[in-house]
Amino acid sequence: MSVSIVVPCYRSARILPTLVSQLTSAMSATAEQYEVILVVDGSPDDTWRVASALAENHEAVLAILLARNYGQHNALVAGIRSAQYHIVVTMDDDLQHPPAEVPKLIAALTDDLDLVYAVPVEEEHGAVRSFASRLIKAGLAGPLGIRNARLVGAFRVFRASLRAGFDLANGPYVSVDVALSWATTRVGSVQVRMQQRVEGRSGYTFRSLSRHAANMILGYSTTPLRLVTYLGCMVGVGGLLLLAYVLWRYVHRDTTVAGYTTIASMIALFSSAQMLAVGVLGEYIGRIHAHGIGRPLYVIRQRTMGPRRESVHGVEADTRVIAE
């Protein structure tokens, strides 16, 4: 068995040595060949220096530095495209995903499955974030009809053949789970033990979580556009009923010049519907624009790998500067 483990890294300089050490211990007894790909997502601290040093001292470690902060999913795609083995594992860098649980996750990838998500026995995040996560997943699985949405998480394992789903991925709004859902329907899950964050706090703010939720919702389907259409139909039916009511009162000579409240209410109602429609359409148009102007998914500034990996990849120096 050969396994590539992709870890997006941000502000994790103090955690990475422990993470790599635990991964080495766990994988040495599990896989014949393995690699740990540390993708430093433009972190402002010493994360790249630590990751680069780990790559120089561990032949199984590859460190990749992105030119700036592109986001977790963009960093994941950079690492997944660099993976060379048949099975790919993705996990966070904060030890909330215990390295000791990686073999259990890999073992769940049976012949009838292509993708397995780790489901926590107990939530490792706070009550508020866990509730928000469950709410978003329920919305994806319910009204939007997204299969396996309740299983989605950052701790996952899949077959490298699914990387074909990333071939055309470009622009700033990529979602790993969306791309994987396009590549396979053979999805499973396994319960694993999660841990609390060792130090610091998560980089996911309410704003970033909301943005990620929007990427998931808008990335999976055009259902929001259909919802706007349904809303327009409902508002149209309401307008016809109001017209019938006004005509009825006119025929029965029961009209007055007043009606300011009704007019103001209807203007507000129609304006809200129009603004909602314009907002959703604008979001889709903005994404089309971002893809059309050729905005890159990511740019790799630098790689660091040990001597043994150099011979495998055919490079002459420990470090090379490239753009992808």
CATH number of the structural domain spanning residue 192: 3.90.550.10
Q: What pLDDT score was predicted for residue 304?
A: 80
Beta bridge partners of 98: none
- Region of poorest pLDDT, from 59-68, 118-127, 159-168, 176-185: 118-127
Residue 55 has pLDDT above 90, yes or no: yes
282 and 227 inside one domain: yes
| Mean pLDDT comparison of 37-46, 142-151, 293-302, highest-scoring range | 37-46
Residues 167 and 126 in one domain: yes
- Counting the structural domains of the chain, the total is 2
* 177 shares a domain with 72: yes
Residue whose pair of structure tokens reads 């896989």 in the numeric block: 31
Same domain, 198 and 274: no
| Residue 150 shares a structural domain with residue 188 | yes
Q: What pairs with residue 120 in β-bridges?
A: 192
Question: What is the residue-wise DSSP string for 277-322?
Answer: HHHHHHHHHHHHHHHHTT--S--EEEEEE-HHHHHHHT-SSSEE--
Residues of the chain with pLDDT > 70, as a percent, come to 68
- Same domain? 237 vs 310: no
What is the separation, in whole angstroms, between the first and last Cα of the chain? 29
Minimum mean pLDDT among 4-8, 119-123, 199-203, 244-248: which range?
A: 199-203
Distance separating alpha carbons of residues 227 and 233, to the nearest angstrom: 10
Is the CB of residue 184 less than 8 Å from the CB of residue 162? yes
Q: What ranges in 66-126 are assigned the alpha helix state H?
A: 72-82, 102-107
Is residue 16 domain-shared with residue 55, that is, in the same domain? yes
Quick one: 124 and 192 in the same domain? yes
Residue 266 and residue 174 share a domain: no
Q: Decide if 191 contacts 122 (C-beta within 8 A).
A: no
Q: Are residues 207 and 302 in the same domain?
A: yes
For residue 132, what are the domain limits?
2-221+295-320
The pTM of the full predicted model, rounded to 2 decimals, is: 0.71
Distance CA 256, CA 239 (A): 19
* Average confidence (pLDDT) over 40-69: 94
- Shared domain for 180 and 239, answered yes or no, is no
Q: Is the separation of the CB atoms in 63 and 38 below 8 Å?
A: yes
Same domain, 159 and 278: no
- Each residue of 95-145: pLDDT tens digit? 999 999 999 999 999 999 999 999 888 765 555 555 555 655 555 555 555
